[in-house]
Amino acid sequence: MQRVMIVGQPGAGKSTLARQLGERTGLPVIHIDTIHWQPGWVERSRDEKTRLCHEVEAGDRWIFEGGHSQTWDTRLARADVLIWVDRSLALRCWRVVFRTLSNRGHTRPDLPENCPELLGNLPEFFKYIWSSRNTARAKMEQLAATAPAECQVVRLRSNRETTEFLASVGPVLT
């Protein structure tokens, strides 16, 4: 395990899993939100996001969690493990509310500086979660189905499966 790609819909637990996996393996963790956003919730251009994703993907060792599906093919081609965190819509929505309230006014560790959680962002974010719930899931299902044979695919559907997976992983030797 040298290059781990983690995908899932908002609130699935990708960032938390990536941090925990990084602690267990010693692999560097890259969160897509640090590529997508600049300080102050300023969105990068699509070309800039693509360039930054390709820079990360070219590395020898990484845990790369999150979207920018335009680069999924090249990321998957380099990954030796694909993890799909596949959780229910209700749970994901609950987690988004919980993390927003828990971090209200503060920046989460998976975001750039000066991107505080704001209650006012929730309605728009929920519209995105709802409108993309089926298409995003289908994209992830297709991604998992087309993974190269040498890429291990792990689909995590519950807390128990996630705990068992993490328990099976040890430090990565360099």
Q: What is the pLDDT of residue 117?
A: 84
What number of other Cβ atoms are within 10 A of residue 154's Cβ?
Answer: 16
CA distances 14 to 32, 37, 45, 64, 91, Å, are 10, 17, 23, 10, 13
pLDDT at 29 over 80: yes
Task: Give the C-alpha separation, 128 to 133, whole Å.
Answer: 8
Q: What is the pLDDT of residue 119?
A: 82
The answer to whether position 133 is within a domain reads: yes
The answer to whether position 172 is within a domain reads: no
Q: What is the pLDDT of residues 32-49, one digit of tens each?
A: 999 999 999 999 999 999
- 52-66, 104-118, 137-151: segment of lowest average pLDDT: 104-118
Name the pairing type of β-strands 62-65 and 152-156.
Answer: unpaired
Query: Which among 163, 160, 13, 146 has a CA at the least distance from the CA of 82?
Result: 146
Could you list the residue range(s) of the whole structural domain that residue 119 is in?
3-167
User: pTM, whole model, 2 decimals?
Assistant: 0.91
Residues near 23 by beta carbon (within 8 Å), at least 6 away in sequence: none
The answer to whether position 76 is within a domain reads: yes
Rounded to the nearest integer, the mean pLDDT of the chain is 92
% of the chain residues with pLDDT over 70: 99
Q: What is the pLDDT of residue 174?
A: 61
pLDDT at 13 over 90: yes
Q: Averaged over 55-63, what is the pLDDT?
A: 96
Question: How many structural domains comprise the chain?
Answer: 1
Q: How far is CA 75 from the centre of its chain?
A: 13
Torsion of CA 96, 137, 62, 110, to 10 degrees: -10
User: CATH no. for residue 37?
Assistant: 3.40.50.300
The answer to whether position 174 is within a domain reads: no
